[in-house]
Structure 1
Amino acid sequence: MAVIDTALPVALDRTSETPLAVQLADALRASASTGHLRGGDRLPSTRALADRLGVSRTVTSAAYEQLHAEGWILGRHGSGTYVTTSPPSGRPERRAVVAGEEPPSNLLVLAPGLPWAEGLDKAAWRRAWRAASDTAPSWYAQRSGLPEYRAAIAEHLLRHRGLDAGTESVLATGGTTAAVIELAAAVLRPGDLVAIEEPGYQRAVHAFRRAGMRVVGAAVDAEGLRPDTVPDGVRAVYCSPAHQYPMGGRMSAARRVELVERARAEDFLVVEDDYDGELRYDVAPLPLLAALAPDVVAHLGTTSKILTPTLGAGWMVAPSSVTSAVLEYREVTGTRPSHAGQRVIVELARHGDLGRHLRRLRRELSERRSMLVGAFGKAGIPVLGDDAGAHLVVPLASAEDERERLASAKRRGLLLDGLGRHFARTPSTFGVAVGYAGCSREALRDSLGVLVDLLRVKPR
């Protein structure tokens, strides 16, 4: 039962495991912090306070000694004990965490960039986490990533992306955006000119700009990035050649050759974002730029789109000068990607669950895409993008049309994405990007009627 002092807001709980002296010191400290006690206020003697609270003098003496050591109170000989510190002039502000990216629960999210997380085999997921937790905690910060993770990714790249990199060439990352941040900080310099697809991945744009780079757009069309629109003097070109984000095209072989030849001649780095390169349904996954020109290409990959962002695991395969600079940056900043997600990937790969999931994922998303394309085709709705990935694009005529359809979709319970926000400068292409991985197949099927009605070509 608590004993409450009538002069001071002190409550001592004798059933608590916290010592009474600590409770008393905490209560008096809180009173001085919030203004109930102010600088110059005289405290009861240790004997008087002990009598009031019904505790031994040892308790009050210990509490006073602690507060004296912290500078909250001061004993004056022959006069008593006084509070020395007044509270801050303003009450401390409680800082709430700003709301993140979680969408409203009343909307069906059909936006690009989401994985088919519900399709993960729950038994395999639990088994991987249990096995990962059986591994002894690391005592050493392996800044390049766990060797077994790097080996698993090297095998993944060879089997699913045709890149024979070898374990020693793989660098673990926290994902593609995290890798871009590291490249900007470790390899490039403030003021460097970086070309990025327009429209393109805006998190990369912001990452480069925050690091002091000057960002310029390079045009894209149905064949991906147009190398002829990359200006002279760039230090890096960021692109997504296998499945351009967000338009969905693939860079042609001729353009790939043109880009890497320019990179070699002009000494710039090509940053290849292969965010969902494993997800192709018409042909085998396209060869990587890193396989064509490993001397000038930094290849970035992630598990966020093929598995889940929960793991925070990705990879980089780049020229040794680039990976060395990134490792040096990690050393001086004390940063590294988390080992936990890497260990889960290792276990998923070890038992064959990663490969099985990829096969199921390709089959599932291919059928979902066919369902959407078929329904849109019957309604005369045009679709852009290759038979790949987890989203498609419906072109529109104007920014106003795009805004109206997105707003109408929200009113009808759907969250879609517009092309306008994917431009670093003034948008020049408009449309709606429809993602089909982040919900159940049933929910997607049930939304078809609304989608067709929303995106149907308006009569003039």
Structure 2
Amino acid sequence: MEIEALPLLLDRDGTLPLAVQLADALRGAAAGGALRPGDRLPSTRGLATALGVSRTVTAAAYDQLLAEGWVAGRVGAGTYVTAVPGPRAARPAASAAGVAGPEPEPSVLDPGRPCVAALDRAMWRRAWRAAADPDPDDRPRPDGLAPFHEAVTGHLLRHRGLTPPAGAVLSTAGTSAAVAELARLLPAGAAVAVEEPGYPRAVSALRAAGLDIVPVPVDGDGLVVDAVPAGCAAVYTTPAHQFPTAVRMSAARRVALVERARAEDLLVIEDDYDGELRYDVAPLPLLAALAPDHVVHLGTASKIVSPTLGVGWAVAPPAVRDAWRDLRSRTGTRPSPAGQRVFAALAAHGDLSRHLRRLRRELRARRDTVLEAARDAGWAARGDPAGAHLVLFPPAGEAAAVAAARARGVAVSGLARYHAGAPRVSGLVVGYAAGTRADQAAALAALTG
């Protein structure tokens, strides 16, 4: 069984020991059908490396499962599933005081969620009706739809200062899906530098393709380019609004990165997941504008409109674009056209630009609300005037603040969650796009109270 195929999620901020969480996750994988009798489990060393935990954690989890009798070890051959456990009662969540309590609902403070409250519903319905006008397709379109490409080209020119060459735009299913496709174009086992802390889905997509993940630190100027080791095939970065630290890559770092890309023939994957959302400062040049021959630029409609559309875009150098098209022709992978038609309809008569102006005003006001709540509570805050999340620094520390918020029924993420290894920095990653303003105010009161 490949490690990447197992649905194993560990909560490093949780109250349960990691070994107990891992044993629970493996039981759940077996009960859900991801593991079957006869399947070989990953080695304790390999699983520890993949999950970013010590081998002591994975060995303790396996020992527990061996003691329960549903896995067995074979000398020289590994550990195998021997039986599928029956359904288990879910463990009750523990509050900060150690008393069992209900698991909080998904929080309006979660980063990465879009501000659908800013969507004009009449505009939304109008775009869907317009998307239904063209005749249904009678063949797959791996590159995507021409009207969508035209809409993206205009959008990038107006809102990101990028002019893609003719034929340079590919439709995608979003930035995470695009990273997963790009990962399959890189040589098996190649080293890819990623930001640490960084975006877990992108890292998982790269790791699932069998690539060697090399964490690189982030500071107040973004990715530390000098820390990218020699010999990497690619670098994945979020320069416009680093996820999750909310800083932007400085101009000097951008120049340094593209210079290394040219000198070492690196492929730079520029994830511009919310680059359209800037409030008080002009954007710096995109990496794709500085080095179009070495940068794949990725964008998405999920953060500026809604993940309902399920669409994004890529602007790639010719060689990458040709290899990408070939991969799609061989595998049948292609983005859904429905969301592309809706996005094109939004852009056709200026609705998308009007929506972005409204969205920026709304998010700027919400950001100010978060900063005000942090000041009132005596908390420090960090983040470029952009995007839809900030990092807050409670005096009590990350872990205590996460536990206290959870006890009040509000889920919030700490920076520890976004590290593959031992956390280097701490703080709370607070999103402010989801829900209504009243929802936001209530969640902030619970968080800082």
TM-score bracket, shorter-length normalisation: 0.7 to 0.9
CA, structure 1 residues 397+182, in 2 after alignment: closer, same or farther (shift >3 Å)?
farther
Aligned pairs for 1:32-47 (under 5 A) are none
1:197 Cα offset (Å): 0.4
Aligned with 1:244: secondary structure?
Answer: coil
Distance 1:211 1:449 in 2: 42
Distance 2:382 2:303 in 1: 20
Structure 1 letter corresponding to 2:416: G
Mark the structure with the bigger radius of gyration. Answer: 1
CA contact (8 A) 1:274 1:300 kept: yes
What is residue 367 of structure 2 aligned with on the other side? 369
Aligned pairs for 1:226-237 (under 5 A) are 226-237=224-235
Distance 2:183 2:243 in 1: 20
What is residue 286 of structure 1 aligned with on the other side? 284
CA contact (8 A) 1:219 1:229 kept: yes
Aligned with 2:177: secondary structure?
Answer: helix
Structure 1 letter corresponding to 2:425: T
**What TM-score, normalized by structure 2, do the two folds share?**
0.75
Distance 1:424 1:451 in 2: 26
CA contact (8 A) 2:109 2:443 kept: no
- Identity percentage over the alignment? 56
1:355 Cα offset (Å): 0.7
CA, structure 1 residues 104+390, in 2 after alignment: closer, same or farther (shift >3 Å)?
farther
1:108 Cα offset (Å): 3.8
**1:428 counterpart = 2:416:** no
1:94 Cα offset (Å): 12
Deviation per residue, 1:405-444 (Å, 9 max, x gap): 2222122121211111111111111111111101101121
CA, structure 1 residues 94+136, in 2 after alignment: closer, same or farther (shift >3 Å)?
farther
CA contact (8 A) 1:176 1:314 kept: yes
CA, structure 1 residues 105+320, in 2 after alignment: closer, same or farther (shift >3 Å)?
same
Aligned pairs for 1:5-404 (under 5 A) are 106=105, 108-186=107-185, 188-395=186-393, 401-404=397-400
Aligned with 2:308: secondary structure?
Answer: helix
Structure 2 letter corresponding to 1:132: A
CA, structure 1 residues 446+162, in 2 after alignment: closer, same or farther (shift >3 Å)?
same
Deviation per residue, 1:80-117 (Å, 9 max, x gap): xxxxxxxxxxxxx999xxxxxxx978554311000001
1:141 Cα offset (Å): 1.4
More moved, 444-453 vs 162-171 = 444-453
Distance 2:315 2:258 in 1: 16
Distance 1:335 1:106 in 2: 34
Aligned with 1:433: secondary structure?
Answer: strand
Aligned with 1:414: secondary structure?
Answer: coil
1:263 Cα offset (Å): 0.6
More moved, 280-289 vs 309-318 = 280-289
Deviation per residue, 1:198-223 (Å, 9 max, x gap): 00011111111110100011111111
Distance 1:363 1:104 in 2: 33
Distance 1:389 1:213 in 2: 29
Runs of 4+ in structure 1 off by over 4 angstroms are 103-107
Structure 2 letter corresponding to 1:170: V
Structure 1 letter corresponding to 2:139: Y
1:379 Cα offset (Å): 2.9
CA, structure 1 residues 335+111, in 2 after alignment: closer, same or farther (shift >3 Å)?
same
CA contact (8 A) 1:397 1:430 kept: no
Structure 2 letter corresponding to 1:441: R
Aligned with 1:194: secondary structure?
Answer: strand
CA, structure 1 residues 169+404, in 2 after alignment: closer, same or farther (shift >3 Å)?
same
Aligned with 1:304: secondary structure?
Answer: coil
CA contact (8 A) 2:171 2:312 kept: yes
CA contact (8 A) 1:154 1:167 kept: no
Deviation per residue, 1:132-152 (Å, 9 max, x gap): 112111112111110010010
1:282 Cα offset (Å): 1.2
1:243 Cα offset (Å): 0.5
Distance 1:294 1:106 in 2: 43
Distance 1:277 1:404 in 2: 32
More moved, 170-179 vs 281-290 = 281-290
Distance 2:166 2:406 in 1: 46
CA contact (8 A) 2:108 2:433 kept: no
Aligned with 1:310: secondary structure?
Answer: coil
The RMSD of aligned alpha carbons is 2.0
Structure 1 letter corresponding to 2:412: L
CA, structure 1 residues 108+269, in 2 after alignment: closer, same or farther (shift >3 Å)?
closer
CA contact (8 A) 1:406 1:417 kept: yes
Structure 1, unaligned runs of 5 or more: 1-92, 96-102, 454-460
Structure 2 letter corresponding to 1:442: A
**1:419 counterpart = 2:418:** no
What is residue 406 of structure 1 aligned with on the other side? 402
1:380 Cα offset (Å): 2.1
CA contact (8 A) 1:238 1:270 kept: yes
Aligned with 1:218: secondary structure?
Answer: strand
Distance 2:410 2:119 in 1: 24
CA, structure 1 residues 353+329, in 2 after alignment: closer, same or farther (shift >3 Å)?
same
Deviation per residue, 1:316-371 (Å, 9 max, x gap): 00101011111100000011000000000011111211111100110000011111
What is residue 74 of structure 1 aligned with on the other side? none
Deviation per residue, 1:265-298 (Å, 9 max, x gap): 0111010000000111111233211011101110
Deviation per residue, 1:42-98 (Å, 9 max, x gap): xxxxxxxxxxxxxxxxxxxxxxxxxxxxxxxxxxxxxxxxxxxxxxxxxxx999xxx
CA contact (8 A) 1:202 1:422 kept: yes
Distance 2:319 2:138 in 1: 27
Distance 1:249 1:106 in 2: 28
Structure 1 letter corresponding to 2:150: A
**Greater RCO (Cα-Cα under 8 Å, separation 6 or more):** 2
